[in-house]
């Protein structure tokens, strides 16, 4: 028995075990709990849902109820919220990519002694609380905020532009907040590129733009995928930014989730929402993973 | 003082492809290339040989267009191309790291340059096939570079750089990434391909054996300057300076002073040797100083246990060390008179023979045509 234990507790297993235990305790276990709640029914109790396992008359009965899932398909607001969340996440990711790629490219091609400074400047805003930075945007965007007041003062406009509580504000907030997550993996990828490849392309007759399109861009594919995942996945479930900057027409799954949990106190429906969101996110992740695996195999 | 034998006597005048005129390049006040003038002849393989930091790679990059010369001009067939961008030059380069595009197949790598010229796709396919056949890599057309061995990558890099039929091919340390055995094999194969294609080629290397195997002419570079230009034989047999002599192969150098200077022979007295040095050819002297250096290659010396019969060109010593290299042995002989250690090669022609061994008394001798007189 002791020997068996010793075999398990090797340094190798311990090191590999840490992330597994971490994922088990902080991801899989909570997810199982959420999935379990989603299969119950709401009731006025503490906790506010029916039990799944019941010991009755010397028999164990398991009660599984798909009512919450069926409910989600019956009310269009949930489907809309999913579609809208994915749509917003998609466009925000694209915007982050369009803004972040040139920035990452410029940093990666800057003289190497200047790169740490530029990276620091990218990261500097995140030293302030995320919440405070999103709040600061309210001060900028609201009707009597800094931007509108300035435009009114210069006479460019004569009535304030409605920016707060619009999708525009939400996009702005998301792109602003998540841009570093796009830039950093892209930079990490671009800075490793072998400069002699570009010289070779130039030597073979390719001009600057062709060199970028045919060499740099395809080789930065992994950086683009990594950055896009880091933006897309959290944005789908984003709650704070649409809540603070968005309006009533900004329906995102994070907001609906909050409402179900705290306003309606319908834990099973909220859990079902969360479970489906995880499923939706797992699809692109596994697809990327599969794609990566395939390109790795092609490369071997 | 220059050596009487003219290094370029038996060379017929050849058409010049590339003229490098007084080219210099500075990096932060360091002269990487310092006033280099050089003519590259059509069809030759020209090697730039030098230690690292000698400026040879910078010169090659100037030819490719990756570096702009600080001063000087480059003329290709008489046309100034000093300020032409790399992608406009009819010059292609094979990089030391090969710089194959990792995300493209072998086929696409070779086709890359042709596509930039907007060649019709049918012609591109034909050319790619031809190139693959030339380097014996037809069956690897659809592989990615990281699925190839070092030697195979080199073949593809060569095919890619030749695909556009450049007027001038540049090779940057072409064998640098290969192991020794593959290197010798590829040297001859690459030369074979280059000669078949008939392309003019400038290569950079720090490996003298490689330069001598591959090049028709070579230049020795040191501190940004060209020290000597000539055929491998010229440079090996008639080095014009101590730098060249010591850079290429091994050599024994004796300091001495001229005691007798005649039209067809020269006598030098050296403190290292027991007898005077007799040089069997005249030296065109414009002697400012009678102090000269005399250099003789180890393989041109003889090692004997008996005292040589000649009056000149020998010294007595003891065997200090022996390096057995299979084909020949290098004897390090400590001269009795000065304690200077000289090298002598002894060919191992027989499997077992009576060769001098450690601490034996030996005589190192050579004939009057074996060595050269160098500039001090």
CATH code for position B270 = 2.40.50.140
Q: Is the separation of the CB atoms in B363 and B314 below 8 Å? A: yes
Percent of chain A with pLDDT over 70: 96
Facing residue for A205 by CB, picked from B66, B103, B116: B116
**B10 inside domain:** no
**B313 inside domain:** yes
**B5 inside domain:** no
Instruction: For B337-364, write each residue's pLDDT tens digit.
Output: 888 999 999 888 887 777 888 999 999 9
A196 in reach of chain B (CB within 8 A): yes
Least confident of A96-105, A245-254, B103-112: A245-254
CA distances from B60 to A295, B5, B36, B69, B204 (A): 36, 30, 12, 11, 7
Instruction: Please name the residue of chain B whose CA is at the shortest distance from the CA of residue A208.
Output: B87
Residue B149: other Cβ atoms inside 10 A: 10
Cross-chain residue pair B92–A204, CB shorter than 8 Å: yes
**Residue B179: which CATH number?**
3.40.50.300
**pLDDT value at position A54?**
82
CA distances from A104 to A99, A117, A130, A189, A190 (A): 9, 13, 22, 9, 7
Cross-chain residue pair B95–A298, CB shorter than 8 Å: no
How far is the C-alpha of A105 from the C-alpha of A140, rounded, in Å? 29
Cross-chain residue pair B112–A201, CB shorter than 8 Å: yes
Cross-chain residue pair B87–A300, CB shorter than 8 Å: no
B91 in reach of chain A (CB within 8 A): yes
Q: Is the separation of the CB atoms in B233 and B60 below 8 Å? A: no
Whether residues B182 and B331 fall in one domain: no
β-strand partners of B363: B304, B316
Instruction: For B206-233, write each residue's pLDDT tens digit.
Output: 998 899 999 999 999 999 999 999 999 9
Cross-chain residue pair B117–A205, CB shorter than 8 Å: yes
Cross-chain residue pair A196–B95, CB shorter than 8 Å: yes
| Strands B168-172, B200-205: pairing kind | parallel
**pLDDT value at position A36?**
92
Whether residues B255 and B236 fall in one domain: no
Whether residues B369 and B221 fall in one domain: no
B165 in reach of chain A (CB within 8 A): no
Secondary structure of chain B in the HEC alphabet?
Answer: CECCCCCCCCCCCCCEEEEEEEEEEEECCEEEEEEEEEEEECCCEEEEEECCCCCHHHHHHHHHCCCCCCEEEEEECCEECCCCCHHHCCEEEECCCCCCCCCCCHHHHHHHHHHHCCCCHHHHHHHHHHHHHHCCCHHHCCCCHHHCCHHHHHHHHHHHHHHCCCCEEEEECCCCCCCHHHHHHHHHHHHHHHHHHCCEEEEEECCHHHHHHHCCEEEEEECCEEEEEECHHHHHHCCCCHHHHHHCCCCEEEEEEEEEECCCCEEEECCCCCCCEEECCCCECCCCCCEEEEEECHHHCEEECCCCCCCCCEEEEEEEEEEECCCEEEEEEEECCCCCEEEEEEECCCCCCCCCCCCCEEEEECCCCCCEEECC
Instruction: For A201-219, write each residue's pLDDT tens digit.
Output: 999 999 999 999 999 999 9
B66 in reach of chain A (CB within 8 A): yes
Q: Which of B90, B101, B159, B169 to mutate to test the interface with A (most CBs of A within 10 A)?
A: B101
> Structure tokens of A190?
């671009």
**B3 inside domain:** no
Whether residues B223 and B273 fall in one domain: no
A173 versus A290: the higher-pLDDT residue is: A173
Q: Which of B102, B160, B165 to mutate to test the interface with A (most CBs of A within 10 A)?
A: B102
Q: Is the separation of the CB atoms in A141 and A245 below 8 Å? A: yes
Whether residues B273 and B138 fall in one domain: no
Whether residues B265 and B199 fall in one domain: no
Q: Which of B217, B245, B273 is the last residue of a domain?
A: B245
How far is the C-alpha of B344 from the C-alpha of B250, rounded, in Å? 10
Secondary structure of residue A54 in the 3-state scheme: strand
Detail the DSSP E strand segments found in chain A.
53-56, 59-62
pLDDT category of residue B1 using cuts at 50, 70 and 90: very low
The count of CB pairs under 8 A between chains A and B is: 65
Instruction: For the full predicted model, state whether its pTM sits above 0.95.
Output: no
What are A197-202's contacts with CB under 8 Å, separation 24+? A197/B99, A197/B101, A197/B102, A199/B64, A199/B66, A199/B86, A199/B95, A199/B99, A200/B93, A200/B95, A200/B99, A200/B100, A200/B101, A201/B101, A201/B112, A202/B65, A202/B66, A202/B85, A202/B86, A202/B87
**B184 inside domain:** yes
Give contacts of B66 with chain A, Cβ < 8 Å: 199, 202-203
Return the CATH fold of A75-265.
MetI-like fold (1.10.3720)
Query: What 8-state DSSP symbol labels residue A51?
Result: -
Whether residues B216 and B333 fall in one domain: no
Whether residues B174 and B235 fall in one domain: yes
Cross-chain residue pair B93–A194, CB shorter than 8 Å: no
Whether residues B169 and B194 fall in one domain: yes
Give contacts of A210 with chain B, Cβ < 8 Å: 116
A294 in reach of chain B (CB within 8 A): no
**B175 inside domain:** yes
> Structure tokens of A163?
């920016």
Cross-chain residue pair A206–B117, CB shorter than 8 Å: no
A210 in reach of chain B (CB within 8 A): yes
Tell whether the model's pLDDT for residue B336 goes beyond 80. yes
Instruction: For A130-167, write each residue's pLDDT tens digit.
Output: 999 999 999 999 999 999 999 999 989 999 999 999 99
**B370 inside domain:** yes
B177 in reach of chain A (CB within 8 A): no
**B267 inside domain:** yes
| Residue-number span of the structural domain to which B258 is assigned | 250-374
pLDDT category of residue A104 using cuts at 50, 70 and 90: very high
How far is the C-alpha of B290 from the C-alpha of A134, rounded, in Å? 87
- Smallest CA–CA separation between B88 and chain A, in Å? 6
Q: Which of A205, A207, A211 to mutate to test the interface with B (most CBs of B within 10 A)?
A: A205
How far is the C-alpha of B244 from the C-alpha of B295, rounded, in Å? 11
Number of domains into which chain B is organized? 2
A218 in reach of chain B (CB within 8 A): yes
Whether residues B163 and B298 fall in one domain: no
Tell whether the model's pLDDT for residue A172 goes beyond 90. yes
Maximum distance among all Cα pairs of chain B, rounded to whole angstroms: 76
Whether residues B239 and B304 fall in one domain: no
β-strand partners of B21: B73
**pLDDT value at position B285?**
53
- Smallest CA–CA separation between A208 and chain B, in Å? 10
Q: Which of B185, B210, B245 is the last residue of a domain?
A: B245
Instruction: Please name the residue of chain A whose CA is at the shortest distance from the CA of residue B114.
Output: A204
Q: Which of B245, B269, B304 is the last residue of a domain?
A: B245
Give contacts of B112 with chain A, Cβ < 8 Å: 201, 204, 206, 214
Facing residue for A203 by CB, picked from B64, B100, B144: B64
How confident is the model over A261-288, as a mean pLDDT? 88
B116 in reach of chain A (CB within 8 A): yes
> Structure tokens of B34?
């310092």
Give contacts of A223 with chain B, Cβ < 8 Å: none
A14 in reach of chain B (CB within 8 A): no
- Smallest CA–CA separation between A196 and chain B, in Å? 6
Cross-chain residue pair A203–B92, CB shorter than 8 Å: yes
pLDDT category of residue A290 using cuts at 50, 70 and 90: confident
Cross-chain residue pair A199–B95, CB shorter than 8 Å: yes
pLDDT category of residue B14 using cuts at 50, 70 and 90: confident
- Smallest CA–CA separation between B45 and chain A, in Å? 20
Whether residues B90 and B165 fall in one domain: yes
CA distances from A136 to A30, A125, A133, B290, B320 (A): 33, 12, 5, 87, 84
Least confident of A233-247, A256-270, B261-275: B261-275
Cross-chain residue pair A202–B99, CB shorter than 8 Å: no
How confident is the model over B136-151, as a mean pLDDT? 94
Cross-chain residue pair A204–B160, CB shorter than 8 Å: yes
Sequence-separated (6 or more) residues with CB below 8 Å from residue A100: A179, A182, A183, A186, A227
């Amino acid at each position: 028995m002791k020997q068996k234990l010793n075999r398990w507790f090797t340094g190798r297993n311990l090191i590999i075990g840490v992330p597994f235990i971490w994922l088990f305790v902080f991801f899989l276990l909570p997810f199982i709990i959420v999935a379990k709640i989603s299969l119950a029914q709401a009731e006025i109790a503490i906790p506010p849902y029916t039990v799944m396992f019941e010991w009755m008359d010397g028999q164990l009965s398991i009660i599984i109820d798909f009512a919450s899932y069926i409910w989600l398909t019956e009310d269009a607001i949930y489907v809309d919220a999913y579609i809208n969340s994915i749509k917003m996440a998609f466009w925000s990711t694209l915007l982050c990519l369009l803004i972040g790629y040139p920035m990452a490219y410029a940093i990666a091609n800057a003289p190497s002694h200047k790169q740490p400074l530029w990276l620091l400047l990218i990261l500097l805003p995140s030293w302030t609380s995320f919440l405070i930075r999103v709040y600061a945007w309210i001060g900028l965007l609201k009707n009597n905020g800094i931007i509108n007041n300035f435009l009114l003062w210069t006479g460019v406009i004569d009535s304030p532009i409605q920016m707060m509580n619009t999708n525009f504000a939400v996009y702005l907030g998301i792109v602003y907040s998540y841009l570093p997550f796009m830039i950093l993996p892209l930079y990490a990828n671009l800075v490793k590129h072998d400069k002699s490849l570009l010289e070779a392309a130039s030597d073979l007759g390719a001009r600057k733009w062709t060199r970028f399109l045919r060499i740099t861009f395809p080789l930065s594919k992994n950086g683009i995928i990594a950055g896009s995942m880091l933006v897309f996945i959290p944005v789908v479930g984003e709650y704070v930014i649409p809540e603070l900057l968005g309006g009533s027409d900004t329906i995102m799954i994070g907001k609906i989730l909050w409402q179900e949990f705290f306003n309606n106190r319908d834990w099973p429906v909220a859990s079902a929402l969360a479970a489906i969101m995880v499923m939706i996110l797992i699809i692109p992740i596994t697809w990327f993973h599969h794609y990566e695996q395939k390109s790795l195999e092609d490369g071997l | 003082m220059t050596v009487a034998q003219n290094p370029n006597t038996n060379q017929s005048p050849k058409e010049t492809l590339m003229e490098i005129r007084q080219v210099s390049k500075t990096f932060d006040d360091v002269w990487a290339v310092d006033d280099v003038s050089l003519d590259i002849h059509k069809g030759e393989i020209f090697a730039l040989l030098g230690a690292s930091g000698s400026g040879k790679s910078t010169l090659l990059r100037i030819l490719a267009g990756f570096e702009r010369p600080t001063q000087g001009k480059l003329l290709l067939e008489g046309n100034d191309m000093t300020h032409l961008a790399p992608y406009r030059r009819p010059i292609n380069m094979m990089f030391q790291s090969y710089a194959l595009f990792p995300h493209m197949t072998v086929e696409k790598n070779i086709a890359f340059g042709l596509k930039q010229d907007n060649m019709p796709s049918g012609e591109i396919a034909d050319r790619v096939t031809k190139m693959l056949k030339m380097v014996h890599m037809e069956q690897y057309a659809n592989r990615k570079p990281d699925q190839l061995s070092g030697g195979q990558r080199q073949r593809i890099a060569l095919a890619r750089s030749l695909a556009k039929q450049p007027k001038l091919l540049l090779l940057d340390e072409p064998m640098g990434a290969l192991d020794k055995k593959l290197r010798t094999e590829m040297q001859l194969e690459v030369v074979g391909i280059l000669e078949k294609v008939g392309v003019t080629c400038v290569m950079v290397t720090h490996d003298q054996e490689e330069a001598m195997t591959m090049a028709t002419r070579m230049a020795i570079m040191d501190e940004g300057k060209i020290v000597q230009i000539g055929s491998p034989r010229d440079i090996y047999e008639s080095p014009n300076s101590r730098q060249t002599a010591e850079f290429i192969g091994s050599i024994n150098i004796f300091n001495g002073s001229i005691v007798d200077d005649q039209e067809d022979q020269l006598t030098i007295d050296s403190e290292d040797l027991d007898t005077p040095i007799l040089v069997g050819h005249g030296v065109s002297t414009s002697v400012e100083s009678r102090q000269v250096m005399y250099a003789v290659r180890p393989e041109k010396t003889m090692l004997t246990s008996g005292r040589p019969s000649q009056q000149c060109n020998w010294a007595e010593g003891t065997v200090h060390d022996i390096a057995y290299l299979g084909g020949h042995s290098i004897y390090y002989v400590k001269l009795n008179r000065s304690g200077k250690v000289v090298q002598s090669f002894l060919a191992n022609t027989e499997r077992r023979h009576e060769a001098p061994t450690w601490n034996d008394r030996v005589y190192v001798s050579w004939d009057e045509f074996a060595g050269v007189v160098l500039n001090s």
